[in-house]
Amino acid sequence: MKKLAFLFFILLHVSYIFGQNLEDLLDEETEKTTEFVSAIFKSTKIVDGQSIENPAKGEFNFLICHHFGTLNSGFYDFYGLDESNIKLGLQFGITDRIALSVGRSSFDKIYDASAKVKIIQQQKGLKNIPFGISLYTEIAASALDYRDFDLPVVFEHRLSYAAQLLIASKLSESLSIQLSPTVVHQNLVNFSKEPNTKYALGIGGRIKLSKRTSINPEYFYNLNFRDFYNDHLSLGFDFETGGHIFQLYFGNSRAISTPQFIGETNGNWLDGDIRFGFSIHRFFVYSNKNKKNELY
């Protein structure tokens, strides 16, 4: 028994001496730090729905979105390209966790404002959190002229709201998924039995094809308004070039603002009510503490 222990000690120490080299010693010096997982999605949107990403602090994103008409509208409308809905938006990174945005879409002449707050960030190292959670809220006001309608329209009727929890995880370098439970509330709806408060569950993802291109599918399953509207489904292709991100996609929603594309999608993929769309994201810096001129 003693001899065994003796042998064990020798082996232990011999391996200890020979196992040590400078690189290992260096690793011992390294303390663990928290590393936030970056770029779960390339842009702040998956397709039409919001992704968990925010512009960084001091950065703003200028956004141009287009939804064209349906592909089944035929040659006369040039397969939808004659009809166009556009949204212009600005999204500001106020802090690394909070982003505020304003936008204007041509469909229903909607003005919108939104806030996205990172509650939990996916991280590795000191703490291991395999997913991130953000809260997204949007308020949209339609400026449509209701003069021709018989109904009396008060200002409240023009408002609609959306609130989303964005729960996302970068599973690997090339695969990210996101769940987006959503509540939409519209003060005025189109049908008498249509609910004002609508629930939907969104699922989206990103599959990277290369470092700069990816395929993004997105689906919103509607929970309590299936009798009135269809589910939103779109499939996008993203590519980035330095400061720009281009997203090209096919989807079945006409509207671009969040309460409308989730709550009022009436296109049906199987009937060919598919619209081509694209978004262009351009990032600008409005304040940068690391000015290179200070250094040279």
Partner 1 sequence: MSIIKIISIAIFFIPSFLIQIKAQNLYVSKNASAEFLSVAPLETIYAKSTKLKGIIDIQNRSFAFEIPMNSFDGFNSPLQKTHFNENYLESTKYPKAKFTGKIIEEIDFSKPGEYQIRAKGKMLIHGKEEVMTISGKISITQNSFKILSVFSIFLKNFDISIPPIVNQKIADEIKVTVKAEFNPKI
Residue 87 CA to residue 99 CA, distance in Å, equals: 18
Q: Is 1 in the site for partner 1 (CB under 8 A)?
A: no
Q: How many other C-beta atoms are found inside a 10 Å radius of the C-beta of residue 264?
A: 25
Residue 82 CA to residue 98 CA, distance in Å, equals: 38
Residue pair 283/60 in contact (Cβ under 8 Å)? The answer is yes
Q: Is 171 in the site for partner 1 (CB under 8 A)?
A: no
The footprint of partner 1 on residues 129-148 (CB under 8 A) is: none
Residue with Cβ nearer partner 1 (147 or 211): 211
Q: Is 17 in the site for partner 1 (CB under 8 A)?
A: yes
Size of the site for partner 1 (CB under 8 A): 39
SS3 sequence, 48-91? CCECCCCCCCCEEEEEEEEEEEEHHHCHHHHHHCCCEEEEEEEE
Site string for partner 1, 78-107 (x = CB under 8 A): ---------------x--------------
Residue pair 87/256 in contact (Cβ under 8 Å)? The answer is yes
Q: Is 9 in the site for partner 1 (CB under 8 A)?
A: yes
The footprint of partner 1 on residues 42-61 (CB under 8 A) is: 55-59
Q: Is 4 in the site for partner 1 (CB under 8 A)?
A: no
Q: Of 7-15, 136-144, 225-233, 271-279, which segment contacts partner 1 by CB under 8 A?
A: 7-15
Q: Which residues contact 146 (CB under 8 A, 6 or more apart)?
A: 153
Residue 24 CA to residue 28 CA, distance in Å, equals: 6
Residue 250 CA to residue 234 CA, distance in Å, equals: 6
Q: Is 109 in the site for partner 1 (CB under 8 A)?
A: no
Q: Is 155 in the site for partner 1 (CB under 8 A)?
A: no
Residue 109 CA to residue 221 CA, distance in Å, equals: 26
Residue with Cβ nearer partner 1 (131 or 229): 131
Pick one of 19, 25, 101, 159: the residue that binds partner 1 (CB under 8 A).
25
Q: Of 25-33, 66-74, 105-113, 154-162, which segment contacts partner 1 by CB under 8 A?
A: 25-33
Residue 285 CA to residue 240 CA, distance in Å, equals: 17
User: Closest separation between CB of residue 202 and partner 1, Å?
Assistant: 24
Burial status of residue 71 (CB atoms within 10 A of its CB: 0-12, 13-18, 19 or more): middle
Pick one of 102, 187, 227, 243: the residue that binds partner 1 (CB under 8 A).
243
CA torsion, points 144, 233, 240, 114, in degrees to nearest 10? 40
Q: Is 217 in the site for partner 1 (CB under 8 A)?
A: no
The footprint of partner 1 on residues 185-214 (CB under 8 A) is: 211-212
| Run of H or E including 219 | strand 213-222
Residue with Cβ nearer partner 1 (39 or 113): 39
Query: Residues in the site for partner 1, rule: CB under 8 A?
Result: 2-3, 5-6, 9-10, 13, 16-17, 20-23, 25-26, 29-30, 35, 38-39, 55-59, 93, 173, 211-212, 241-243, 283, 285, 288, 290, 292, 295-296
